[in-house]
């Protein structure tokens, strides 16, 4: 990386140190002192453009991109099915709008209940990697069942009771799969980074990419799936089977991507039932003597997050209506905006668009500006800001 620093390179480093000091509101030249100290200790080297780590390296774990690819494909599969689900239940299986709404929201509730079970299984028994792999296969099986349920088994190419039973079983299976892996994927990604200052910076960037991959998958599937369901097959004016088989294929790709990086993953051993430990630690009647002061501090740090989460169920109860009653209401509209047609199940697309638009704005403009003003953007503050 070059240990020889030419004279003009040193001048550049000097100017750069002053610039950084003013950015960080420090006394000028303190950065230069650090530069001289680090060079003496041979911990850094300066090139023409940036500081290069020489000692105490924290290399970026590039295998996390397998996890990000897995998340993109899995989110495409999930939202690809969810975006057209209410239309499928109402106009293919023949449920009433009220019945379809009940089934839709029951499915969503199960998807967010099973993360509790998945987290306990990963922490207490199988570990994150095996939990993700096994439940991803369950997830894929549910997606295949959903595809089969969209093939009309009745006379005159109409769905019958077999289609209904298959669809309901498929929804339950998918809920187990997607819910079970939900708490494990991000946690496994976080395990790949070292617990150092540089590692924490890398981790923050990873979660931004991870969040972007979620919304990129959601955006693409919410746009594509409604178009696919309007294709014609089985002598019908719709083709839900194609609309469901594409997410199933993406789920298969997600499993392949996840397994491809398995030899590189840092797999931490199971640490026991963390949820149970947390309840015992914070409960007034729980036995706290078995936990260290550091563990108690970690457990108690969760409490402010829980307080922040109190109003969220009210928000999500309304937000989830986009995929049910609001979509059904949109079926009563023409949907034409100029020469472009917005399908009822594409109405939800603005959410991922806005997230992908604001994510880099907050990451590279808003948060650095707040940091420059002396406001440290902790993860909890970022969550409060909406990221």
Distance between CA atoms of residues 21 and 236, nearest Å: 68
Cα 196 from chain centre: 23
Same domain, 134 and 207: yes
Whole-angstrom CA distances from 120 to 58, 204, 306 are: 31, 25, 18
Does residue 365 sit within a domain?
A: no
Q: What residues are paired with 337 via a beta bridge?
A: 340
- pLDDT digit string, tens, across residues 301-352: 778 888 888 888 898 889 999 999 999 999 999 888 888 889 999 989 999 9
Same domain, 158 and 75: yes
Same domain, 27 and 145: no
Distance between CA atoms of residues 260 and 262, nearest Å: 6
pLDDT of residue 292: 74
Does residue 351 sit within a domain?
A: no
pLDDT of residue 38: 52
Same domain, 226 and 84: yes
* Confidence (pTM): 0.81
Cβ pair 302, 278 in contact under 8 A: yes
pLDDT of residue 272: 72
Same domain, 262 and 131: yes
Q: Is 44 helix (H, G, I), strand (E, B) or coil?
A: strand
Please choose, from the candidates 103, 116, 1, the residue with its C-alpha nearest in 3D space to the C-alpha of residue 51.
1
User: CB-based contacts of 309: which residues, under 8 Å, 6+ apart?
Assistant: none
Does residue 166 sit within a domain?
A: yes
Same domain, 80 and 182: yes
Same domain, 244 and 96: yes
Residue where a domain stops, chosen among 272, 306, 334: 272
Distance between CA atoms of residues 230 and 88, nearest Å: 11
Distance between CA atoms of residues 151 and 154, nearest Å: 9
Residue 290 CB burial class (10 angstroms; 0-12, 13-18, ≥19): exposed
How crowded is residue 182: how many other Cβ atoms within 10 Å of its Cβ?
Answer: 21
Does residue 343 sit within a domain?
A: no
Which residue numbers in the chain have pLDDT < 50? Answer: 1-7, 11, 14-15, 18-33, 35-36, 39-40, 42-55
What are the percentages of helix, strand and coil residues in the chain, rounded to 5? 70, 5, 25
Does residue 17 sit within a domain?
A: yes
Distance between CA atoms of residues 172 and 157, nearest Å: 25
pLDDT of residue 386: 66
Same domain, 129 and 166: yes
Split into its structural domains, the chain has a count of 2
Same domain, 247 and 101: yes
Please give the residue range of the domain that contains residue 18: 7-53
Same domain, 159 and 76: yes
Same domain, 110 and 131: yes
Does residue 78 sit within a domain?
A: yes
Please choose, from the candidates 27, 28, 52, the residue with its C-alpha nearest in 3D space to the C-alpha of residue 39.
52
Same domain, 69 and 29: no
Does residue 29 sit within a domain?
A: yes
Which CATH number belongs to the domain containing residue 232 in this structure?
1.20.1250.20
Does residue 147 sit within a domain?
A: yes
User: CB-based contacts of 340: which residues, under 8 Å, 6+ apart?
Assistant: none
Helix axes 293-300, 274-282, angle to 10 degrees: 90
């Amino acid at each position: 990386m070059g240990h020889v620093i030419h004279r003009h390179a040193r001048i550049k480093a000097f100017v750069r140190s002053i610039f950084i000091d003013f950015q960080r509101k420090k006394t000028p030249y303190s950065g230069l002192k650090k530069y001289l100290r680090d060079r003496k200790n041979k911990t850094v080297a300066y090139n023409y453009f940036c500081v290069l780590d020489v000692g105490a390296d924290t290399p970026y774990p590039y295998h996390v991109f397998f996890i990000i690819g897995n998340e993109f494909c899995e989110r495409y599969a999930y939202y690809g099915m969810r975006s057209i689900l209410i239309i499928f239940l109402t106009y293919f299986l023949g449920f009433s709008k009220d019945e379809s709404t009940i089934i839709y929201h029951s499915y969503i509730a199960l998807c967010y209940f099973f993360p509790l079970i998945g987290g306990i299984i990963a922490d207490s028994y199988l570990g994150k990697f095996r939990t993700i792999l096994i439940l991803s296969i369950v997830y894929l099986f549910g997606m295949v069942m959903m595809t089969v349920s969209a093939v009309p088994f009745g006379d005159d190419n109409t769905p019958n009771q077999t289609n209904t039973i298959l669809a309901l079983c498929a929804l339950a299976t998918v809920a187990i799969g997607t819910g079970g892996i939900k708490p494990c994927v991000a946690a496994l990604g976080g395990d790949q980074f070292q617990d150092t200052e540089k590692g924490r910076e890398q981790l923050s960037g990873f979660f931004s990419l991870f969040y972007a991959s979620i919304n990129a998958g959601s955006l693409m599937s919410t746009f594509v799936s409604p178009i696919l369901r309007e294709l014609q097959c089985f002598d019908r004016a719709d083709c839900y089977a194609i609309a469901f088989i594409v997410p199933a294929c993406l789920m298969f790709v997600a499993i392949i991507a996840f397994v491809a990086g398995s030899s590189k993953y840092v797999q931490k051993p199971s640490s026991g039932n963390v949820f149970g430990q947390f309840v015992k630690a914070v409960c007034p009647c729980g036995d706290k003597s078995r936990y260290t002061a550091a563990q108690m501090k970690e457990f108690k740090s969760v409490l402010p997050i829980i307080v922040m989460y109190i109003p969220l169920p009210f928000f999500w109860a309304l937000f989830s209506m986009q995929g049910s009653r609001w979509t059904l209401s949109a079926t009563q509209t023409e949907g034409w905006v100029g020469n472009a047609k917005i399908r009822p199940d594409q109405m939800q697309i603005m959410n991922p668009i806005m997230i992908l638009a604001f994510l880099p704005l907050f990451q590279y403009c808003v948060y650095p500006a707040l940091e420059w003003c002396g406001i440290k953007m902790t993860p909890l503050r970022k969550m409060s800001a909406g990221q």
